[in-house]
Structure 1
Amino acid sequence: MNTEEFDQKRSSHRLPPEKLRSECRDDFFDFATTDDIGKCSIDMIGQKRAEQAMSFGLAVEQNGYNLFVVGPAGTGRMTYTQGSVSKMAESGEVPRDWGYVHNFDNHDRPVVISFEAGKGHEFRRDMEILLMDIEREIRSAFTSDGYEKQKRKMIDEFRRSVEQLWKEAEVFAGEHHYKIERSPGGINTIPLIDGKPISIEEFKRLSPQQKEHLKEQEKLLEDKLQETVLQIQKKEDQLRKSVHAFMKEITSNSVKSLFIPLKEKYYENKKVGTYLDAYYSDVVEHFHFFFSEEEEQETVLNALAGPKEKPFLRYAVNLFVNNKGLEGAPVIYETNPTYQNLFGKVEYQGQLGNLITDFTMIKPGALHLANGGYLILQASELLQHPYAWTGLKRALQSGNIPIENPNEDRGLFPASAIKPEPIPLNVKIIIIGSYYIYELLSRLDEDFDKLFKVKVEFDTEMPKSDENNHKMACFIKNYAEDEGLLPFHRRAVADVINYSSRLVDEKTKLTTRFQDITKLLVESSFYAKEAEEEIVDKPHIQKALFEKTQRSNHVPEKFREMIHNGTIMIETKGRRIGQINGLAVMGTRDSLFGIPTKITAQTFAGKNGIVNIERETAMSGQIHHKGMMILTGFLSGQFAKNRPIPLSASITFEQTYTMIDGDSASSTELYVLLSSLAEVPIHQGTAVTGSVNQWGEIQPIGGVNEKVEGFYHICSQNGLTGEQGVIIPKQNVKNLMLDEEVVEAVRNGQFHIWAIGHIADGLEILTGFHAGYERNNNGEFPEGSIFARADERFSKMHEIAKEEREQLKE
């Protein structure tokens, strides 16, 4: 290939500067700064699929149509989800209030009652007033003259009947020659002689017959006394029952009228009616709660035990969920979805080494607060907490929200537990997570697809259309106003849009990861304020991007420094056989950059085939292994159709000490192998990237912008010659959004980008020799071409191998 043909070949594949970058022109916009833009109302940009799925999922009311919002962070998925849910909730109904009350039949099973929104607070207040009225009425009834008179009458009748019994006993004792003496210490019987008590000495002087007679009479008296005491005890019991029944009757008569208006007010709420009936019966039964008791003397034991249970607590109302003042359906975003934060909990109080609780210590969870509305959760947070995911699934399947302690069976301390009545669940769950979590749950959890039937998928890119450009300008305006940033000139807006295309590595696309865009807006506004400017212009955008690069380019600078001082041996001038510059992308947490890598090959006669040194040393991955096998397939298809190839070749990435993977250098490896086989030198100022298939067709790769810019910086550092450049797959032209410095160097003829579709085109640009890929009618490659030279080399290797086999036979 002569010089003219070589230049023509290079020119036919050389990309003009216009193809290297897509520019959004500032005159596209009809405003000077973003302050001139009218009111913008943009909910979401470039996510029509997600918007349609979100609207559908929120509108469907049937069970199982919960939503899983999937996509990478920074795409606005959280902001849009909260906005969409809040908008939908505005037109929703305010859910009912829920309150727990004491279960008078089963103290360990508190009863839940629902009320219309805002009525729960009213009911609690009614119960507070009712309790105060009951206490007042009971105290008044038990301090009235009528109560005291009737009670005194009952007691007096009891005393008279008791005195009568004692009189009868005394008469009986006299008839049997005994006298009864009653004292606080007990009952004494004294024998009588001639109606007079006798002393112990007199008793001793009595004859045996007299003593025996008195003992018999004493036994009869004791039986009589026992009968009398038993009758008195029965009368005491009757008195207690009578007084208790009387006091219950007084209580009933005094408080019954207090319940009538409340039962009428809450007539439609059957549970309230049932509760008021039980409340009334309990008050009548426990009227003594409303009597004042003398203060107990404080003791060490009382101090250790803590305060006693307040008897009036049983009549309180635990307004569990109060929706008073709420407009529309509730929207809850739970940032820490532990089991208890989701399902509520029962708190405990320590008392004398034990843990006690009651229904007033039941606390709501996010599911209770969001009931009747929407609950938003982060998948990564939800799955970190034990029992949370399993409990959420169980609640959705059962339609109830249980309140229980999942770790109660592991408790180290005794506790008095209660089991509140569960609340019916009616909530729309929206979980936000990554693709990985979604696929993991979908594959491993058989219930997931039944419970989360709507997938809301956020894309990372959108078309670079006029409509989206205008929406991006509106987004910049709104964000600047919300965050107090300076207004942006239209030149700055156009530059932000160009940066958006660079983030997705495609000219016809814009990024939807607005987190990266907002960082640029904040930083460029800062530099504009620092320069005491009133608006953000293009230089401020450029400075923000430059400073961002400076903050994270420590590693690429070290690589370039080592290449410049010769530590890493990269040549950008001259020609070498079996040596080429490949391109790789490396990255840190906050930056990606491209670097050239020297790839060398040695070919010689043998039977080992192509030996990948990285593979032999376990420094390459499976995809790279596949690329090497494709090279073997291509060479066999071209040169071994009629005879075997007795080839041994070694190929390696020089000065690489980390794992190598991917097939983006497979075309580069093929070039260097053919260079070694045909003994044709490769121009070292031309770097290559691109994958290849078994037909020699070049396939697209990733990171094309970083790779081109990485090699440009090395060439620029060593001195641009006007002959240097990068060969890329033609399919990657649409991905080019090169830095303006590189574009300017191409425009000035100092650097070049060639786009090719076949291995033959790359060979000719790299070597200046005809590739000669296609055979003629005789089945031969064109004379003097690279493929003819390689074929001739294979023929010589075949002859050598044939001679060796014949010598071994002799």
Structure 2
Amino acid sequence: MPVTPLSPNALYRRCDPDQLGFATTAELEAGDALIPQERARHTIEFGIGIRHSGYNLFALGPSGTGKLALIRRTLEERATAEPVPSDWCYVFNFANAHRPRALRLPPGRGNTLRRDMEQLVTDLHRAIPGVFESDEYRTRSQALEEELEERQEQAMGALREMAKEKDVVLLQTPTGFTLAPIRNGKPLGPEEFHALPKKEQTRIEADIDALQAEMRKVMHQMPVWKKRSDEQIEELNREMAGGAVRSLIETLGERYQDLPAVVAYLDEVQADVVEHFRQFLPTQDKQPPFLAGWTPPNGDGPPWHHRYRINVLLGHDQNGGAPVVYADLPAHHQLVGRIEHRAHLGALETDFTMIRAGALHEANGGYLILDALKLLLQPFAWETLKRLLQAGEIRIESLAQITSLISTLSLEPEPIPLDVKVVMLGERHIYYLLCQLDPEFRELFKVAVDFDDELVRDPASALGYARFVAAEVHRAALRPFEAAAVAHVVEHGARLVDDNERLTSHMRSIGDLLREADYWAGASDHALVTAADVEQAIRARIERADRIARRLREETTRGTILIDTDGERIGQVNGLAVMALGDFAFGHPSRITARVRLGKGEVIDIEREVKLGGPLHTKGVLILQGFIAGRYALEHPLSLSASLVFEQTYGGVDGDSASSAELYALLSALAELPICQSLAVTGSVNQRGEIQAIGGVNEKIEGFYDTCAARGPVTGQGVLIPAANVKHLMLRADVREAAAAGRFAIYPVTTVDEGIELLTGMPAGTRGADGRWSPGSVNARVEARLVGFSERLRALRGGDTQAPPTAEPPR
């Protein structure tokens, strides 16, 4: 049966506003503006429900389909019923200041401990000076001082008595103690001493030497007595300080008896405070005499007033469930945290109070959402994430440490156990590349959440669109949409996927259309957004992006680009291609020509020969070569040499959607039958001669229509499309109107024979029982030409002086 043009109803599938069940979106409840993705939602629930290692999620699909919104909503619903994770604090490590310790506390207790320690330090500043100003301390310390003085005085007194018995006196001079002989209670001078008998002088000298020996013994004992006294005073100091500290810390420790780690930390604090109790005493001008002149030691670690602080790395409320964190900038330090520094006297210094949490800390015990592309673009971030997930702990390291760019000593905080479910968002090609290139990826992200690009178009999905419109109207404070406007939005959703049985799930595009339609409604002073406003938004969007399309049409009209839209030509056909520039795609016709001659059975693809043809286009040419070889002159060698080319194309050509057009041009050249130039062709072909579906059918049809309309009124032009593409038609209103008026036609074809009949106006023919094609048919003419080529080639190879006449096709 001859192929007839499609009816206008087949060119566009309308959405009936009356079937939506409302007059305006103001009647609808504003939902969460999410299009149903049931398969993805079930996968998400499985992924967050299974708690084994490696079952992290990767949500793959194009951006704008609502992946983040659906995942975040599902996670938050699940997280509210889960326990609140622990608080984590970093505290000073008294054994090694460069390795701060991590304390795990129940939710809400971290900030409580921080406040308690701040209060403890305040109380210590009051209590410790108080005990050293008490009467008890003064009495006991004074007793120790008096004991030392008494012991020293007794020793010196005994020495004086010994000297007195020997008529020697102990004198104290500015340079120390000295011994001198006396007579009649008065020391002897040198002249008086030398006036004494020699025997007396010798005795006195011997007595003085003996007394000096005793005096040296006493003087050697005095530092020992002083040291012992100082030790007793220090013991007293520690005893007094320990008493003040013990009572305060024991009282504090009673509040944390259920947390052994905190109790152990408080014990270390108590020992350290007693060891360094002087830090809590007044400045030197107000210190007690026994402490005057003391200065704080310059030890490792933070300033003393920071030593007992609590760095609450992560604190939670006692209610609220597990955290759900989205890291919009997943750099290395944003994930694992960082150690800040302060400038002091021209140098950078840090301590445990300057450790800051990262996204992994914030999400620990809950869920972390990451953008895959952003993560992969950050240096070392992907490798760091994998390493931490495999290790099951968070280690805070700077990039300088990892890359060994800095060798100075820095902090090494104690790692924190990691328990998080990671959800990564990304395009499909990123997921498949990671699967192929990174063997560790599949071990860590075992759950793939594949979002659908399209929705089945049915009343339920149309109502889902309406609810999405109502939600966007509420969220963005737009004007309410009439039912007809919502219906037009649904129709545009089908147009975006080039399928009248499907709707796009790319709701970002739909949301943009809604806001633009609201703008045009405001420009027209409409209280409600109408279907005309939606159509105006669509047209305005095209007008903003169609400069290249208009320029191509202008050059075609001016004759710069050669395209025939009427008349007939042998070996020439109008093929259709789609060009995409950003988010805008448009169709444009291209002249395809074929030339044939005697040869070695090859079809030369000029695009491939000059390296402008892509692999899919080359495949299409080889398929039509196989079709020719397998259909005609089966008992003769294929002695054809043919060339195919897209005229006036100066860029790459790819895809097989022009293979049927190339085949028609080749058949026309072989049969020497002209092709009607008022028809354009799209569709791929297989080796059996069947026409297969292609993409961009709406843009291709409209592109040829626009080219024809630019030259004047459209009268009798049309396009041949694969019959399999009829369900994809969502054509513009002007194209539909031209088709309804009979000025433009769309022909659905299923085979090459149907297409060649339309293009040449002659029957394609069928092969009879005798193996011959119908006389006068296109196929008969093609086969006769090929047989003639074969016979002539045989004659040339046989050395005949006169080649037999070529079998001419019947005319």
Amino acid corresponding to residue 85 of structure 1 in structure 2: L
| Partner secondary structure for residue 314 of structure 1 | coil
2:176 equivalent to 1:187 = yes
2:647 equivalent to 1:654 = yes
Partner of 1:746: 739
Q: Render the CA deviation track for 1:341-364: whole Å, top value 9, x for unaligned.
A: 111122223344543322211111
2:473 equivalent to 1:486 = no
Q: Render the CA deviation track for 1:182-211: whole Å, top value 9, x for unaligned.
A: 566x43646658687677899999999999
Q: Render the CA deviation track for 1:575-625: whole Å, top value 9, x for unaligned.
A: 000111101111211310110000111111122621111122111111111
Structure 1 Cα separation of the partners of residues 527 and 173 of structure 2: 106
C-alpha displacement of 1:720: 4.0
C-alpha displacement of 1:789: 1.2
Q: Render the CA deviation track for 1:644-670: whole Å, top value 9, x for unaligned.
A: 122111111111111111111111111
More displaced 10-residue stretch of structure 1: 791-800 or 73-82: 791-800
2:17 equivalent to 1:17 = no
| Partner secondary structure for residue 522 of structure 1 | helix
2:634 equivalent to 1:641 = yes
CA change 1:150–1:648 in 2 (3 A) is same
Partner of 2:552: 559
CA change 1:281–1:801 in 2 (3 A) is same
Q: Does the CA contact (< 8 Å) of 1:102 and 1:315 recur in 2?
A: yes
CA change 1:54–1:409 in 2 (3 A) is closer
Q: Does the CA contact (< 8 Å) of 2:85 and 2:316 recur in 1?
A: yes
Structure 2 Cα separation of the partners of residues 211 and 480 of structure 1: 124
2:248 equivalent to 1:258 = yes
Q: Does the CA contact (< 8 Å) of 1:593 and 1:706 recur in 2?
A: yes
Partner of 1:800: 792
Q: Does the CA contact (< 8 Å) of 1:579 and 1:601 recur in 2?
A: yes
Partner of 1:3: none
Structure 1 Cα separation of the partners of residues 371 and 105 of structure 2: 31
Alignment match of 1:114 (pick from 80, 98, 104): 104
Partner of 1:127: 117
2:19 equivalent to 1:34 = no
Structure 2 Cα separation of the partners of residues 660 and 606 of structure 1: 26
| Partner secondary structure for residue 218 of structure 2 | helix
CA change 1:166–1:633 in 2 (3 A) is same
Alignment match of 1:783 (pick from 775, 778, 790): 775
CA change 1:71–1:169 in 2 (3 A) is farther
Amino acid corresponding to residue 711 of structure 2 in structure 1: N
Q: Does the CA contact (< 8 Å) of 2:80 and 2:320 recur in 1?
A: yes
Q: Does the CA contact (< 8 Å) of 1:355 and 1:415 recur in 2?
A: no
2:606 equivalent to 1:613 = yes
Q: Does the CA contact (< 8 Å) of 2:98 and 2:301 recur in 1?
A: no
Alignment match of 1:444 (pick from 433, 437, 440): 437
Q: Does the CA contact (< 8 Å) of 1:639 and 1:791 recur in 2?
A: yes
Structure 1 Cα separation of the partners of residues 201 and 501 of structure 2: 131
Q: 1:34-183 alignment to 2 at 5 Å?
A: 34-37=25-28, 39-42=29-32, 44-169=34-159, 182=172
Partner of 1:4: none
| Partner secondary structure for residue 305 of structure 2 | helix
| Partner secondary structure for residue 539 of structure 1 | helix
Structure 1 Cα separation of the partners of residues 562 and 180 of structure 2: 134
Structure 2 Cα separation of the partners of residues 223 and 333 of structure 1: 85
Q: Render the CA deviation track for 1:217-260: whole Å, top value 9, x for unaligned.
A: 88766655543333111111111110011111112223322233
Q: Does the CA contact (< 8 Å) of 2:739 and 2:745 recur in 1?
A: yes
C-alpha displacement of 1:494: 0.4
CA change 1:164–1:597 in 2 (3 A) is same
Q: Does the CA contact (< 8 Å) of 1:724 and 1:750 recur in 2?
A: yes
C-alpha displacement of 1:172: 6.3
Structure 1 Cα separation of the partners of residues 126 and 237 of structure 2: 15
Q: 1:163-562 alignment to 2 at 5 Å?
A: 163-169=153-159, 182=172, 186-187=175-176, 189=178, 192=181, 224-294=214-284, 310-324=303-317, 327-352=320-345, 354-408=347-401, 415-562=408-555
Aligned-pair identity (%)? 39
Q: Does the CA contact (< 8 Å) of 1:13 and 1:756 recur in 2?
A: no
C-alpha displacement of 1:405: 2.5
Amino acid corresponding to residue 17 of structure 2 in structure 1: D
| Partner secondary structure for residue 455 of structure 2 | strand
- 5+ residue gaps in structure 1? 1-7, 297-301
| Partner secondary structure for residue 604 of structure 2 | strand
Let me know the Cα RMSD of the aligned residues.
2.8
Q: Render the CA deviation track for 1:386-423: whole Å, top value 9, x for unaligned.
A: 23222222222222222222422656667442222222
2:678 equivalent to 1:689 = no
- 5+ residue gaps in structure 2? 287-294, 803-811
Amino acid corresponding to residue 470 of structure 2 in structure 1: K
C-alpha displacement of 1:721: 5.0
More displaced 10-residue stretch of structure 1: 83-92 or 673-682: 83-92
CA change 1:199–1:719 in 2 (3 A) is farther
Structure 2 Cα separation of the partners of residues 520 and 76 of structure 1: 16
Partner of 1:5: none
Alignment match of 1:759 (pick from 736, 749, 752): 752
CA change 1:75–1:181 in 2 (3 A) is farther
Amino acid corresponding to residue 117 of structure 2 in structure 1: M
Q: Does the CA contact (< 8 Å) of 2:129 and 2:282 recur in 1?
A: no
More displaced 10-residue stretch of structure 1: 115-124 or 242-251: 115-124
CA change 1:562–1:169 in 2 (3 A) is farther
Structure 1 Cα separation of the partners of residues 405 and 443 of structure 2: 38
Q: Does the CA contact (< 8 Å) of 1:594 and 1:707 recur in 2?
A: yes
CA change 1:580–1:250 in 2 (3 A) is same
Alignment match of 1:714 (pick from 678, 701, 707): 707
Q: Does the CA contact (< 8 Å) of 1:344 and 1:362 recur in 2?
A: yes
CA change 1:179–1:455 in 2 (3 A) is farther
C-alpha displacement of 1:372: 1.7
Q: Does the CA contact (< 8 Å) of 1:97 and 1:321 recur in 2?
A: yes
The TM-score normalised by the length of structure 2 is 0.92
More displaced 10-residue stretch of structure 1: 673-682 or 129-138: 129-138
Partner of 2:582: 589
Aligned length: 790
Q: Does the CA contact (< 8 Å) of 2:36 and 2:464 recur in 1?
A: no
Partner of 2:289: none
Structure 1 Cα separation of the partners of residues 277 and 326 of structure 2: 47
C-alpha displacement of 1:96: 2.0
| Partner secondary structure for residue 674 of structure 1 | helix
Q: Does the CA contact (< 8 Å) of 2:302 and 2:351 recur in 1?
A: no
More displaced 10-residue stretch of structure 1: 700-709 or 157-166: 157-166
C-alpha displacement of 1:103: 2.4
C-alpha displacement of 1:168: 4.4
Structure 1 Cα separation of the partners of residues 107 and 143 of structure 2: 53
